[in-house]
């Protein structure tokens, strides 16, 4: 405030001096000069007071700053002393820690040395044990290899003997089946000459799987021999021979018989004769007997005579009985057959054939079966279809098909055949009444092949063999879900096998 007043006064004085400078020609009154001098003195006194006050305040501030700096120095000294004490304590602690660490490291070093020594000793023991184990293993392996060599040699010998026995057994069964056919032919001659009904056995009293023997002979073997001997000696049979004189007719001694007598066990109990090894029912039995090569084998379906079929022993585990085969051949057989031919079967198992409806019923009756279809087109592509359930009913139900459980890559082209009856050109059971087929008969409209027709399409393994895609009616060997109905396959083979 005072400084402001002083400055104001200085401004006034300055203005007065300026006026005096401009108007110095005029004489100012003496009283005015006195006032100015008085005013200047008062100003100078005022300035002196201000200086003193400023000096006093500066001294006060200097003293206060000095005191504050001294206090700060003292505080800093105290803090430094405290920090120095802490640093000393920390340094002391670090020294103690270093000493303890050195002692610990020395202890750990000694322990590590002990552990290393212990490990070295254990390692040496382990090496010794390992060498002992290796020696024992080598000795055991040597002995084992020697034993395995002996076992393999023995097994090879046994397998060879077993294979020889199986081959001999199969040949025996085959020969017995041929003998059975000859027996039946001779018995037909006896029945025609004697004009009497043969003595037969009830099939329910015997197993379905029988060898040719007393159960296949309409007469007991002894009775049959006597009849045949009498027939040979009588005039009726001699007339059929013609031109023989009495000496030639009676060359046979009284005790001679044309066939050997029945085995003693068969005389006492005919069922005992069934204890001889039976013929295989299907290719699965053939496979279980040890015959693991694809080819033609003789089987005997239950309640039917023996027959030759083609067995597939390399596809999906083997044991497959081929039921119908279509493949490329120089000459193909016709599948335009009658109901009776489809019942009993036809064709050559090594080429193209149909196994027969009665055989399919006999094989699938009482035992669940599965079906597999393998096919190939003319470009070399292959596909397959498998069904986990396959069954064919009897003749009274027109051999109705039951099939389900599809899997594979070719598509389910047999689903429409499920629960369908078998149809041929002379026995229309397809239950279809379609205008585009011949008279509503799928068999006639599709080229004459018999099948379990459903909607007259989808698949036709018994169709006419053609090459690839063709134009015209759908009559080829087809599998619709893979190559449609106007593409005839190069190969189509359907096979069955009993479920495990």
3-class DSSP assignment, residue 467: coil
Q: Where along the chain do its domains lie?
A: 1-22+30-163, 280-500
Entry pTM: 0.51
pLDDT of residue 248: 35
CA dihedral 321, 327, 330, 333 (to 10 degrees): 70
3-class DSSP assignment, residue 146: helix
3-class DSSP assignment, residue 258: coil
**Predicted confidence pLDDT, tens digits, the chain (500 residues):** 444 544 454 454 444 444 444 434 444 457 888 888 888 888 888 898 898 899 898 999 989 889 989 889 888 888 888 888 888 888 888 888 888 888 888 888 888 888 888 888 888 888 888 888 888 888 888 888 888 888 888 878 887 777 778 777 777 877 777 787 777 777 777 777 665 444 443 434 334 444 444 433 333 444 444 434 443 333 333 333 343 344 333 333 333 333 333 444 444 444 444 444 578 999 999 999 888 899 999 999 998 988 999 999 999 999 999 999 999 999 999 999 999 999 999 999 999 999 999 999 999 998 899 999 999 999 999 999 999 999 999 999 999 999 999 999 999 999 889 999 999 999 888 876 655 455 678 888 888 889 998 777 678 899 999 988 988 888 889 998 898 888 999 999 999 999 97
pLDDT of residue 194: 66
pLDDT of residue 232: 36
* CA 404 to the chain's CA centroid: 20
CB proximity list for 277: less than 8 A, separation 6 or greater: 169, 173, 211
CA-CA-CA-CA torsion sign (299, 302, 304, 305): positive
Q: Which residues pair with 298 in a beta bridge?
A: 308
pLDDT of residue 270: 45
Q: Which residues pair with 334 in a beta bridge?
A: none
Q: In terms of CATH architecture, what is 280-500?
A: Alpha-Beta Complex (3.90)
Burial label for 66, CB within 10 Å (0-12, 13-18, 19+), is exposed
pLDDT of residue 38: 87
Q: Are 342 and 422 contacting, i.e. CB atoms less than 8 angstroms apart?
A: yes
Q: How far apart are CA 181 and CA 202, in angstroms?
A: 20
Q: How far apart are CA 498 and CA 363, in angstroms?
A: 9
């Amino acid at each position: 405030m005072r400084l402001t007043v002083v400055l104001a006064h200085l401004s006034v004085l300055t203005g007065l001096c300026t006026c005096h400078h401009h108007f110095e020609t005029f004489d100012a009154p003496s009283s005015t000069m006195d006032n100015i001098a008085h005013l200047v003195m008062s100003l100078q006194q005022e300035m002196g007071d201000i200086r003193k006050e400023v000096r006093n305040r500066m001294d006060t501030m200097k003293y206060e700053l000095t005191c504050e700096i001294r206090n700060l120095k003292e505080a800093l000294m105290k803090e430094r002393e405290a920090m120095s004490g802490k640093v000393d304590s920390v340094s002391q602690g670090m020294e103690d820690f270093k000493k303890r660490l050195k002692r610990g490291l020395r202890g750990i070093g000694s322990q590590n040395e002990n552990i290393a020594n212990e490990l070295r000793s254990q390692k040496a023991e382990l090496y010794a044990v390992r060498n002992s184990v290796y020696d024992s293993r080598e000795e055991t392996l040597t002995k084992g290899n020697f034993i395995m060599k002996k076992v393999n040699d023995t097994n090879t010998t046994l397998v060879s003997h077993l294979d020889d026995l199986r081959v001999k057994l199969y040949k025996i069964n085959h020969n017995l089946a041929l003998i059975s056919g000859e027996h039946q032919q001779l018995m037909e001659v006896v029945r025609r000459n004697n004009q009497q009904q043969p003595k037969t056995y009830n099939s329910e009293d015997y197993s379905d799987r029988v060898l040719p023997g007393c159960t296949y002979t309409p007469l007991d073997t002894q009775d049959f021999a006597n009849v045949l001997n009498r027939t040979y000696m009588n005039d009726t049979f001699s007339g059929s021979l013609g031109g023989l004189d009495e000496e030639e007719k009676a060359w046979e001694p009284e005790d001679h018989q044309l066939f050997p007598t029945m085995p003693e066990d068969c005389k006492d109990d005919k069922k005992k004769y069934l204890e001889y090894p039976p013929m295989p029912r299907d290719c699965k039995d053939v496979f279980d007997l040890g015959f693991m090569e694809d080819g033609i084998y003789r089987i005997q379906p239950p309640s039917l005579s023996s027959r030759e079929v083609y067995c597939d022993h390399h596809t999906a585990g083997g044991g497959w009985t081929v039921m119908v085969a279509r493949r490329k051949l120089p000459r193909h057989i016709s599948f335009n057959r009658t109901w009776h031919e489809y019942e009993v079967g036809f064709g050559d198992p090594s080429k193209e054939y149909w196994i027969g409806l009665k055989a399919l019923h006999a094989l699938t009756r009482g035992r669940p079966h599965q079906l597999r279809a393998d096919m190939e087109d003319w470009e070399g592509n292959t596909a397959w279809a498998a069904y986990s359930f396959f069954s064919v009913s009897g003749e009274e139900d027109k051999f109705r098909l039951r099939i389900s459980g599809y899997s594979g890559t070719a598509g389910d082209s047999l689903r429409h055949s499920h629960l369908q009856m078998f149809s041929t050109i002379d026995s229309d059971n397809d239950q279809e009444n379609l205008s585009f087929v011949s008279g509503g008969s799928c068999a006639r409209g599709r080229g004459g092949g018999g099948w379990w027709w459903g909607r007259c399409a989808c698949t036709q393994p018994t169709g006419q063999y053609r090459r690839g895609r063709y134009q015209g009616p759908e009559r080829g060997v087809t599998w619709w879900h893979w190559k449609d109905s106007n593409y005839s396959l190069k190969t189509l083979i359907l096979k069955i096998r009993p479920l495990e």
